Amino acid sequence: MKPFRVPNIIAALRSLGEILASQGEHAVVVVVGGTALIIQGFVARVTRDVDVIAISHDPPEQERKVIEPPEPLPESLLRAISRVARDYNLPDDWMNTTAGLQWKTGLPPGFEERIHWEQYGGLWLGLADRYDLIFLKLYAAADSEGPSSVHYQDLTALQPTNKELDAAARWVRSQDPSAPFARILDQVLEHAKNNE
């Protein structure tokens, strides 16, 4: 999959919103991962996709939206995603719901209340809060290559405090209580706390 940079992410999201608006449609999605980090200015790196962790069927103008798992994405959004993929020469899954699997074991407590909303035409984009990104990136770092992963680099870019790391670790341990995972998590925590 071809990585794309910040201006292209923003351009692709704007185009997606314009397509939806031109068809009298709208979509409300919440993203995590590299896209959420990049748009909020926490990192300046490339990302390979836009990770949708949730959607909402509430009216876009409603201040507080109820979120739910992203499967299935609305048909109008899927058509617009395909068109943007074609127009920007992106892979078909440039916006995907793989992160939605997190619903099986649960989102960080209070996730829904901390979402930051932006509008791109007919696309209402929710960005996971820094606090929640710490939880998710700690989990991803422990679940991948540990301290050598891009997830660990993202975690350190969020500059978590030891208190935030401890809160995140409690949640992460609830996601996978196995001993091998706990060892990797402890390594990641040790590196992250020494990096503070």
The verdict on 56 and 148 lying in the same domain is no
Q: Between the CA of residue 22 and those of 76, 103, 119, 173, what are the distances in Å?
A: 11, 32, 15, 45
pLDDT, tens digit (0-9, with 9 covering 90-100), for 77-129: 999 999 999 999 899 999 999 999 999 999 999 999 999 999 999 999 999 99
Length of the chain: 196
Query: How far apart (Å, rounded) are the C-alpha atoms in residues 102 and 123?
Result: 23
Residues 24 and 79 in one domain: yes
49: which residues sit within 8 A by CB, 6+ positions away? 1, 33, 34, 35, 91, 93, 94, 95, 96
> Domain range spanning residue 45?
6-128
- The model's pLDDT over 128-140, given as tens digits with 9 standing for 90+, comes to 999 999 999 999 9
What pLDDT band is residue 172 in, cutting at 50, 70 and 90? very high
1 domain residue, yes or no: no
Running DSSP on this structure, what letter comes out for residue 147? G
Q: What would the pLDDT profile of 37-77 be if each residue is shown by its tens digit?
A: 999 999 988 888 999 999 999 887 888 899 999 999 999 99
Residue 145: inside a domain? yes
Q: Are 110 and 166 part of one and the same domain?
A: no
174 and 92 inside one domain: no
- DSSP letter for each residue of 73-132: PPHHHHHHHHHHHHHHT--TTSEE-GGGGGGGT-PPTTGGGG-EEEEETTEEEEE--HHH
- Does 154 fall in a domain? yes
Closest Cα to residue 113, out of 128, 97, 99, 134?
Answer: 128
Pair (40, 100) in one structural domain: yes
Count of domains for the chain: 2
| 75, 106, 128 - which closes a domain | 128
Instruction: State the pTM of this model.
Output: 0.92
Q: Does 24 map to a domain? A: yes
Residues 29 and 64 in one domain: yes
